[in-house]
Amino acid sequence: MLFRSGSASHASVAELKPRNNAESVARFFSVKSTYARWDHIVRKNNYPFCVLRSEFCLVSGIYPPESGGPAKFTKEFAEWYSTKSGHCSVVTLTDEKSSTTHNAHQKIIKLSRSLNIVTRYLKVAFAIRRNSSSGVPILAAGMFLETYLATRFSRRKYVAKVPGDFVWERARNNGYTELDIEDFQSAALNLKYRVFRWMASQSLRSASQVIVPTRQLEKLCVRWGVNAENISYIPNSVDLSLFNSTGKPTKDFDLLTVCRLVKWKGVDELIAVAHALNLKLAIAGDGPEKLNLENQAKKIGAGVTFFGDISQPQLIDLYQRSRIFVLNSSYEGLSHALLEARASGLFSIARANTGSEDVIENDNDGILCGSHKYPDLKSAITYVLSHPEFEHSCISHSLARTSEIFDKKRNFEKIYQLLKAVA
């Protein structure tokens, strides 16, 4: 196993039998004896290795059934790691009561978001400390400040996987700014968000390595003060064995988007365009804007079906039932849904200058809106629908590039090797 620390002889339970009370105490607290007891338990219960001696910890602010890229990544990487190298723990947040679930391979610690911020930060930091080993790097896909606190005065190292600019996202969600992500970087912020930026930058600079899924995020991290030599570009990935291009010949939906329903995803514009072109639109995902979007669609009489958060089998089926995938977000780290849609054989449309350039090659395997040829979403969709040969050619190229660059097994292995190097 990758992170198994040390080697000890496997004493049997019979060897632990003491001759007197003094020896009993001495043996009970000895390293050899402790390891032997746990080794016996591990072997008896068919655990892959002793969870107290070597435990890998992942950290994320969200986790399924909540939707979002960090949630998807954390769950999938934890499952992948468990099959490859053994036991791991996940520390995350929930809108419900705090809870812990576990099996032979994984432990999921969910802490309530309703706790006051100081208590929550401390509880998360302590949970990370308790469920990680000093010789095993922590992998954080969120909650970087909490991870920084957990590692600041210990021998633990951590690797940060940055999904986006969480300070900007917080500012947009709270209605503090309407600026796009690039303009936000040079904007004059109030004290609250200056503090957030400083804390975010400090926590990332303390990481042993920072993983970014796009070149745009790589530039932003350097701008935040992260040493360029400590940044590794590893794109997000898709499981090619689950998402494939054997779609249904008859499509139920002309357009599909899968995303968290927040303002900068641009779903309101997509609904308006679908209505103007008399197209059927499917929307999968949940978020604070869902009710507003449902009211908008109802008011104008748009042909929109809201699926909410759906299971992976249902999502796979929805990809097969759709023709064009649209990601109208004004900013993306690197959308997992975009990769899944392309692996499923859908034509892909996204906005230019949003981070999607790492996935779509304009006019070769999809369309990036904002160019001279496709100035807006409506013109891009209209062009695809009226040029079926172009559509099929782009799909063929996108399938090839997705397989070459965004394969989950290949990119998870890159992260794994990076963790080995840090350890």
pLDDT at 423: 85
The DSSP symbol for 251 reads -
What is the pairing mode between strands 253-258 and 322-327?
parallel
Tens of pLDDT along 100-129? Answer: 998 878 999 999 999 999 999 999 999 999
What span, in angstroms and rounded, lies between the C-alpha atoms of 238 and 41?
36
Q: Which structure tokens are listed for 256?
A: 């599909």
State how far the alpha carbon of 54 is from the alpha carbons of 85, 136, 206, in Å.
Answer: 11, 7, 23
> Average pLDDT over the chain, rounded to whole?
87
Q: May I ask the CATH class of domain 56-237+408-422? A: alpha beta
Q: What are the residues facing 253 on neighbouring strands?
A: 322
Nearest to 112 by CA among 101, 103, 104, 124: 124
Phi-psi category of residue 3: left, alpha or beta, with phi > 0 → left and psi -120 to 50 → alpha:
alpha
pLDDT at 3: 52
Hey, do 56-237+408-422 and 253-405 end up sharing a CATH topology, with the first three levels equal?
Answer: yes
CATH number of 253-405: 3.40.50.2000
**Confidence category of residue 51, pLDDT binned at 50, 70, 90:** very low
Q: Which structure tokens are listed for 110?
A: 């969910």
Which residues in 285-352 belong to E strands, given as ranges?
304-308, 322-327, 347-351
What are the residue boundaries of the structural domains of the chain, listed by start?
Answer: 56-237+408-422, 253-405
Question: 368 vs 25, which has greater pLDDT?
Answer: 368
pLDDT at 83: 87
pTM, 2 dp: 0.81
205-234 burial, b at 16+ Cβ within 10 Å, e below that, comes to bbbbbbbbbbebbbebbeebebeeeebbeb
Tens of pLDDT along 251-283? Answer: 999 999 999 999 989 999 999 999 999 999 999
